[in-house]
Structure 1
Amino acid sequence: MNFRYLLKGLFASAFFLLYSTLLVAQNTIVSGKVIDASDKQPLPFVSVGFPGTTVGVTTDSDGKFTLNTSRQVTQIKISFVGYKEVVLNISPGKTQTLNTVSLQPISEQLTEVEIRSGKKVRYRNRDNPAVELIRRVIANKEKNRPERYNYVEYREYDKLQFALSNLPPSLTERKLLRKYAFLLNNKDSVTVPGKALTPIFLDEKLSQYYYRRNPEAERTVLLGEKKTDLGSFIDSDGINDYIKNLYAKVDVYDNNIFLVTKNFLSPISDNSPNFYKFFITDTITTADNSKLVELSFTPRNTEDILFEGKIYVTIDSNYAVQRVKLGINKNINVNYLTSMNINQDFEKNTDGRYRLVKSNTLAEFKVGKKRNGGFFGIRTITYGDYLINHPRPDTAYTGEKQTDEEIEALQKQPIEFWKQNRLDTLTTAESKVYTNIDSLTNMPSFKRTMDIATLVLAGYKSFGKFEIGPANTFYSFNPVEGLKLRLGGRTTPELSKRYYFETYAAYGFKDEKWKYFISATYSLNNKSIYKFPQNYVRFSFNRDTRVPGAQLQFVQRDNIFLSFTRGTNDKYLYNDLYRFDYVREFENHFSYSFTFRNLKQTPAGSLYYQNNTGRIQDLTTSDATLMFRYAPNEKFYQGKIYRIPIPNKYPIFTVDYTMGINKLFGGQYGYHNLHARVDKRVYLSQLGWADVFVEGGRMFSKVPYPLLNIFRANQSFNYDIYSYNLMNFLEFVSDKYVSVNIDQHFQGFFFNKVPLLKKLKWREVASFKAIKGGLTDQNNPAINGSLFQFPVTSTGAPITYALGNEPYMEGSVGIENIFKLLRVDLVRRFSYLDHPQVAQYGIRARVKFEF
């Protein structure tokens, strides 16, 4: 054994242990507690550190801290916004506990922050007391919601105002507008400093709300409602629903706050520290000696859909929000929105937790950059008469919904009711808006102006009980009919709420044939057939042309813009369709419908029907369809003679079954077809949202191809969300299939990070569509010669196919919000590229107004 090396090893080990011991012995460890000198309460989130080093901590909820360093330090610094800084001497290299440190509040409030150029300080979440505080607020969110109580009830006064802002004073001096001076001079210069508001719409609603936690149930009972009547040209209910969708109720404890059709990330969402910068900017002592910390925040990226502002947080075990001030950055990627402010105040319950007592949302919109002429909306919700953990009979939480008749009566509450029950006050300008709008809608000049506006914007010319339109269908053209002129119209609820008629007549100058449509509808619930819930029967007859496989969404078939198409598009059908519909909707948004059809299809253009026995003149079918639909929490933008669904996060389920009846009214086939579909808008917070729908179908009988599933194709240059934009008409048929469609809107999430692109306010979109299906032998004309042969070109080349083992797939990437209106997609087709007259790539465009 080599004792020399053994002694060296022992010596080295002893030296290392001795050195480590000396290092530990030289460590400086300081602990202590920080309190408020005025009330002796502990102060959390106070910064404690060794001057001249990067070593520091923040105090915990009890105001305690512990610091440890091996460096030679002789002082400790304690600082907190709103308090005088304290520097204390300490003994280096020792473990020591300080006496309780008292911080003296600074009497002056922080009024401004001055930023000077110099060395840039990098913001970070790590060791940031503001971020630590917001994380504690996030961790305590659930216990600060009203739903944490077993029982909650309160009154809610909801006031919604829409106004013109900063109209030029000279406006009433113009000859054409002098008669409207009574309206334009009714201005409010107090509600919003620096803004002169001219109210044109006002809605007041008073409700009683009941909530029970277990079993969970809630109920809202309307006590009264009053709103301006905008006349027959504008539906007041529809305007009210649309504005309330823009100015939705704000719950700061939600991860996302839905406003102006966008999902804003809440500053106290679960992942807000990844998108916001937080700063502790002040501390406040309330009248009851409670401590609040003022947390200021700003977006990391100013173009993202984020807020900026301040929240005030209690420094106790609840970490509750006591006040909220939210705004937006001027660079935010939202169209027409020039300013928005949300102010909320919370009040302490007897148990120390806080409840919302007032919420005020203000937003201004402008089409251009002019200083004057904007639109201003204000929604103020006031809560009062709170009762917590006071149980009521079951009927309070699960009672029946109020009837239409009861609601109509509550909309006629007298003036004295509102004087006694408003939880807020009306401004002088607001109090005049009811009579001013009533006078305006009775003026002949206003009626003429709205008549012209309805024709330009909606495409209909109103004659009171009847209207003509839509204007965009008056003229169109196609290869079979050539130039096609059309004129139509419909009755309005002014004629009757019970019965409705609709008709049109059209003429094709190439085929020299008349087409027409006529329908009669009868409402079974004495309510407009366009109002929810629908309950009506309809009889109709339609003789017109149709492209097999073309299923247009939300547009008329004869729209002039759809006359421009790509490729060959001359295979048409002449349809004679007799139809009966019964539709029934329920308050829970479940609905069903029954449809009976007798349809005669006659080929037109280059399309013809043929089997192994020769040409077939036409195809007649009679079928009955039963459809069930469930759309929970569905809401509509409701017009007088139309309604448009407002997208929400809830799925829509649809199932329908069709039975063909042989020999009934000339029907030539008996068959059974089942179809199901699920639609859902998926909100992805800062990544935008995606519209997703999945559907499937199965034909169980032997039928010719016109009765199979002919997939939705699109040969126009318009991008169709629901169709396959690089598929040709009649290209694919199937008797069994499943499909998926995803349309993703990123809302500028990526472009907002690119310096040159973010100023354009462009937004990224992407889509993917796929169908997997096939054709059984019983419906394959190559196997069964008695079936109609698939269509072919004039040279005999096939144009219609059954899906094989490979699914049909296409996808797109694009840019929307070009000029705030236009969406342009580069579409790629991934499969079946060997088919004739198909393209692997295509450019499609779509016009859509959005914020």
Structure 2
Amino acid sequence: MRRICLLKLSLLIFILGIAVQHSVAQQKISGTVVDGVTGKGVPQTSIRVQGTSDGTSCDAFGRFSLTTDAQLPLELVVSAIGYKEMLVGVDTSQKHLHIALENDKNVIDAVEISRRQKYRNRNPAVDIIHQVIKNKRSNRLENQPRLSFQQYDKLQFGLVNPSEQYNKRMGSLRFFFDNVDTLTSPGNKLLTIFMQEQLSDVYSKNDPKAFKKRVKSIKQTDFDDRYVNNHNIQSYLSYLFQDIEIYDENIFLINKLFLSPIANNAPVFYKYYIADTIDTEDGRFIELNFEPRNKTDLLLSGKLRITTDGRFAVQGATLHANKEANLNWVNDITIDLYFRPNSERYMFLVRSHVDIMFGTNRNDAVYGRKTTYNYDYDFSPSFSDDIFKGAPTEVLTTAKDNEKLVHQQRPVQLSPVENRVYANVDSLNNNRTFRTMLVAGYLLAQGFYPAGPVEFGPLEYLYSRNNIEGNRIRLSGRTTLRFSEKVFIEGYLAYGTQDGAVKYFMRPTFSLNGKSVAAFPAHYLQLAVQHDIFDPGRMLGFKKGDSFFQSIRSNRPTKWMDTYAYQFKHLIEFGNHVSLQSSFIHHRRRAIGDLEFISSGDVQQDISNINTNELEFILRWAPKEKFYYRNLTRNTIIEKYPVFNLQYNRGLKGFWSGDYAFDAVRASVSKRFFLNQFGFADMTLSGGKIWGALPYPLLEMPNVFRDEDTRHEIDFSMMRSMEFVADEYIRLAFEHQLEGFILNKIPLIKKLKLREIWGGKMFYGRLSDLNNPYISKDVILFDTDADGNIMTHVFDNKVPYWEGKVGIDNIFRLLRVEYIRRLNYTGLPNVDKDRYRVSLHLNF
């Protein structure tokens, strides 16, 4: 016992001795920091001992006191927002320092802001934001001469608080619902359904500007690809959860554009308050709170941490969407960004976290989450400029096969719950109950019934009706990956109860690059043969406008041609999203029903057939395009990037009974314009010219709905079938969705979260004398309807066709109501001047 007491006494004496020695070595320094002009104390001034981590800050009167181990003489670094930084020497003769700071050119008054006071547009917080905006360009990391780093992305999607009834009623699926995360979202249970991890090498340079992200390893949950296109899940979630760049004017998230709190015009839409000053190992920062002036607009609220070293850079940000904002099915959005300084004090992003809770206003139903870590930064890397060739984001062909790299190099390990997600999804794919659920879901969503190597559908094409065939029954289908990923076949057989004729279509596609015909970049050869009835102006295709819903529309076709068509097509896509399609197409068309091909030179002459052979070349450029696909059908994910098409057709007369020689050039461009708080607008512009004497069914008919490229579709809903024709034309479509910008500001109405829509469509075309049946004797006459009225018309000189619309979207979060009006050419026979249209739209 005595030994223990003696040991304690010895330790106490030793510790006291060190403490006395330490206290003798410490220096105590105090003083006051004042404004050099007014003489008033400068609160919250940062005082730091040069070359050490010792420091403090001034109180509300500018007074400070600090203790340091540094030996005298020493230097103090004195800095405050709105003042020039100073170095102050301290020697043994100085007991109390009086430091006068010189105003910087960017003066920020030391005024305390209280949110209980009336907000002023000019306050210290706003002054700081103006400095952040002024210095944005120099603070963007992309302005570094050269830069490279590693990036790890983790994308998750799943259910929030799944009902305990699942465990009781799901039988063999019960195991899946036991794997819930109760830690990362306090108060919630998260059940992850989809998860993807990927590792990437990222490169950038400033002169000239270039960026490259090479995804080298991907690990993700894959559902049975017979029913689920895993690529589309990943593409959609990546589209909703795009990388956050705080220095951009807008933050794009869940298909919405939120104005950044440091955008150039942000002070017009946001209020700012100084909340605190924070000292960390990375330096001293000012914390600003911000909130929208109008909380119903697509704006954010939250906190920013700004550096005090004169750069006015963002060190961290926490952003939230407002519950009052005009959003659907979104209960909460949280964005956390964290930056670290490099040796030159440039802030670089090390971690971003985006968390979204989807559901109704009362309950969360689904969650989405994206976590990104950037690490191993190199600010003076050596790499060849060849690395920037191709698309800005490139997924290496070995990425899926190299999934072990994610496991080896992920900077943060998965939790036990996350680790089990992959195995659980694999088990689901082998579960009979789950497969049955997928079959039912696939039939409802895609309209196809899967049956091993083939699938039958689409369901909406099973039955339709027209005035020639009467009731039309169609059996159609296509092969699946279980048949082959390098050979894809689609086709149908159709029968009309009124005409008693069988129609058919067959189109096989063969890969030429040893990869899937659906994968990007594709390279394939395609053959097609089709015998069916077509409305004038339509081209061959698997979906030719004979679905049930199109057969009941008011402006459905009534004139038909019995057509035999053959096509030989070659398509090659390049990594920069340029594609070239080359085709040879043969058509034999015969008028049926009450359609007649009568010569304009001799009304007694009935032309039996219109036969053509043509070469077709289509050059398409879709920079940075992302898309959803199923087999060969692709739908572009609409972002800010335009899509261009250039097409040339050459008619071959005399070959294979071809009757006509002609040349045709068509071009089109479509683009979405993001208009900040005014929503967004979509515009499509196209035009073309045809040279040669041709019968009008071979010319441009604006009413024909083409689906070759979904980005360039323009559907004139108030135009009758075959109503106009031209051999030189311009099309324009414009639609502006204001996202509630006006209605959000009207009391009471704003609670309904309605959204405004307006737009217009224009077609202007001219018909040359060579193709005008009233002038030329080498073409065919325009046909008439049952009342003897001419159905096809030539445009008046310099008078384009217009139709416009206004509408309200987001009614009950589901419906869109539009009023569509035909603005001119209303005196033509059997035309409707206006129409109301109700459609189902599900939008965030």
Q: 1:264-319: CA deviations, max 9, x gaps?
A: 1111111111222222222222235x331211112222222221111111123110
Measure the CA separation in 1 of the matches of 2:590 and 2:250.
Answer: 53
Are 1:735 and 1:776, in contact at CA under 8 Å, matched by a contact in 2?
yes
Q: CA deviation at 1:573?
A: 2.2
Aligned to 2:293: 300
Q: CA deviation at 1:333?
A: 1.6
Measure the CA separation in 1 of the matches of 2:544 and 2:410.
Answer: 46
Are 2:215 and 2:394, in contact at CA under 8 Å, matched by a contact in 1?
no
Equivalent position to 1:371, from 347, 363, 367: 363
Is 1:61 the counterpart of 2:82 in the alignment? yes
Equivalent position to 1:241, from 235, 241, 251: 235
Aligned to 2:158: 163
Q: CA deviation at 1:42?
A: 12
Are 1:298 and 1:309, in contact at CA under 8 Å, matched by a contact in 2?
yes
Is 1:664 the counterpart of 2:664 in the alignment? no
Aligned to 2:177: 184
Kindly provide the amino acid, as one letter, of the partner of residue 234 in structure 1.
Answer: V
Measure the CA separation in 2 of the matches of 1:420 and 1:663.
Answer: 66
Q: 1:758-783: CA deviations, max 9, x gaps?
A: 22222111112222321111111111
Q: CA deviation at 1:700?
A: 1.1
Q: 1:409-445: CA deviations, max 9, x gaps?
A: 663343xx44541111211110111111111111111
Measure the CA separation in 2 of the matches of 1:400 and 1:341.
Answer: 30
Alignment of 1:17-56 (within 5 A): 30=38, 34-36=42-44, 39=47
Measure the CA separation in 2 of the matches of 1:400 and 1:461.
Answer: 36
Kindly provide the amino acid, as one letter, of the partner of residue 205 in structure 1.
Answer: Q
Q: CA deviation at 1:356?
A: 0.4
Measure the CA separation in 2 of the matches of 1:701 and 1:399.
Answer: 40
Q: CA deviation at 1:621?
A: 1.1
Equivalent position to 1:254, from 236, 248, 251: 248
Change over 3 Å in CA distance of 1:554–1:630 after alignment to 2: farther
Aligned to 1:151: 146
Alignment of 1:440-455 (within 5 A): 440-455=428-443
Are 2:216 and 2:399, in contact at CA under 8 Å, matched by a contact in 1?
no
Q: CA deviation at 1:213?
A: 2.0
Aligned to 1:633: 624
Measure the CA separation in 2 of the matches of 1:397 and 1:509.
Answer: 59
**SS of residue in 2 equivalent to 1:435:** helix
Aligned to 1:520: 508
Change over 3 Å in CA distance of 1:731–1:642 after alignment to 2: closer
Are 1:217 and 1:398, in contact at CA under 8 Å, matched by a contact in 2?
no
Change over 3 Å in CA distance of 1:809–1:682 after alignment to 2: same
Are 2:648 and 2:663, in contact at CA under 8 Å, matched by a contact in 1?
yes
Equivalent position to 2:824, from 820, 827, 831: 831
Q: CA deviation at 1:397?
A: 5.1
Measure the CA separation in 2 of the matches of 1:393 and 1:302.
Answer: 48
Aligned to 1:654: 645
Are 1:590 and 1:630, in contact at CA under 8 Å, matched by a contact in 2?
yes
Measure the CA separation in 1 of the matches of 2:667 and 2:45.
Answer: 69
**TM-score, L = length of structure 2:** 0.84
Are 1:36 and 1:42, in contact at CA under 8 Å, matched by a contact in 2?
no
Measure the CA separation in 2 of the matches of 1:400 and 1:757.
Answer: 45
Measure the CA separation in 2 of the matches of 1:130 and 1:552.
Answer: 63
Q: CA deviation at 1:35?
A: 4.7
Kindly provide the amino acid, as one letter, of the partner of residue 142 in structure 2.
Answer: E
Change over 3 Å in CA distance of 1:393–1:525 after alignment to 2: closer
Aligned to 1:459: 447
Aligned to 1:504: 492
Q: 1:236-271: CA deviations, max 9, x gaps?
A: 222111111111110011111111111111111111
Aligned to 2:756: 764
Aligned to 1:349: 342
Change over 3 Å in CA distance of 1:523–1:510 after alignment to 2: same
Is 1:123 the counterpart of 2:119 in the alignment? yes
Q: 1:639-663: CA deviations, max 9, x gaps?
A: 4564321112111111111111112
Q: CA deviation at 1:744?
A: 1.3
**SS of residue in 1 equivalent to 2:290:** strand
Measure the CA separation in 1 of the matches of 2:324 and 2:195.
Answer: 30
**SS of residue in 2 equivalent to 1:812:** strand
Q: Percent identity?
A: 34
Q: CA deviation at 1:850?
A: 2.5
Change over 3 Å in CA distance of 1:195–1:113 after alignment to 2: farther
Equivalent position to 2:402, from 388, 408, 412: 412
**SS of residue in 1 equivalent to 2:587:** strand
Alignment of 1:711-726 (within 5 A): 711-712=702-703, 722-726=714-718
Change over 3 Å in CA distance of 1:827–1:222 after alignment to 2: closer
Aligned to 2:274: 280
Measure the CA separation in 1 of the matches of 2:669 and 2:102.
Answer: 63
Out of 446-455 and 32-41, give the one that drifted further: 32-41
Q: 1:355-399: CA deviations, max 9, x gaps?
A: 100001111212x45636x11111110011111133334455559
Are 2:454 and 2:478, in contact at CA under 8 Å, matched by a contact in 1?
yes
Measure the CA separation in 2 of the matches of 1:460 and 1:356.
Answer: 45
RMSD (Å), alpha carbons: 3.0
Aligned to 2:93: none
Are 1:43 and 1:62, in contact at CA under 8 Å, matched by a contact in 2?
no
Are 1:713 and 1:725, in contact at CA under 8 Å, matched by a contact in 2?
no
Kindly provide the amino acid, as one letter, of the partner of residue 668 in structure 1.
Answer: D
Change over 3 Å in CA distance of 1:409–1:396 after alignment to 2: closer
Change over 3 Å in CA distance of 1:223–1:792 after alignment to 2: closer
Measure the CA separation in 1 of the matches of 2:717 and 2:820.
Answer: 8
Structure 2: tracts of 5 or more residues without a match? 1-36, 49-54, 63-79, 86-97, 104-112, 707-711
Are 1:343 and 1:361, in contact at CA under 8 Å, matched by a contact in 2?
yes
Kindly provide the amino acid, as one letter, of the partner of residue 849 in structure 1.
Answer: L
Measure the CA separation in 2 of the matches of 1:554 and 1:293.
Answer: 62
Q: 1:465-489: CA deviations, max 9, x gaps?
A: 1000011111111222221111111
Equivalent position to 2:813, from 804, 814, 820: 820
Change over 3 Å in CA distance of 1:606–1:301 after alignment to 2: farther
Are 1:212 and 1:397, in contact at CA under 8 Å, matched by a contact in 2?
no
Aligned to 1:229: 222
Are 1:292 and 1:312, in contact at CA under 8 Å, matched by a contact in 2?
yes
Equivalent position to 1:210, from 181, 187, 203: 203
Q: 1:470-513: CA deviations, max 9, x gaps?
A: 11111111222221111111101211122121111112222222
Are 1:230 and 1:437, in contact at CA under 8 Å, matched by a contact in 2?
yes
Are 1:258 and 1:264, in contact at CA under 8 Å, matched by a contact in 2?
yes
Measure the CA separation in 1 of the matches of 2:222 and 2:571.
Answer: 30
Equivalent position to 2:572, from 563, 581, 584: 584
Measure the CA separation in 1 of the matches of 2:489 and 2:418.
Answer: 40
Change over 3 Å in CA distance of 1:400–1:667 after alignment to 2: closer
Is 1:381 the counterpart of 2:402 in the alignment? no
Aligned to 2:92: none
Change over 3 Å in CA distance of 1:213–1:609 after alignment to 2: same
Equivalent position to 1:747, from 739, 745, 751: 739
Equivalent position to 1:491, from 479, 484, 501: 479
Are 1:34 and 1:43, in contact at CA under 8 Å, matched by a contact in 2?
no
Aligned to 1:800: 792
Aligned to 1:87: none
Are 1:238 and 1:637, in contact at CA under 8 Å, matched by a contact in 2?
yes
Q: CA deviation at 1:538?
A: 1.1
**SS of residue in 2 equivalent to 1:430:** helix
Kindly provide the amino acid, as one letter, of the partner of residue 634 in structure 2.
Answer: R
Change over 3 Å in CA distance of 1:470–1:841 after alignment to 2: same
**TM-score, L = length of structure 1:** 0.83
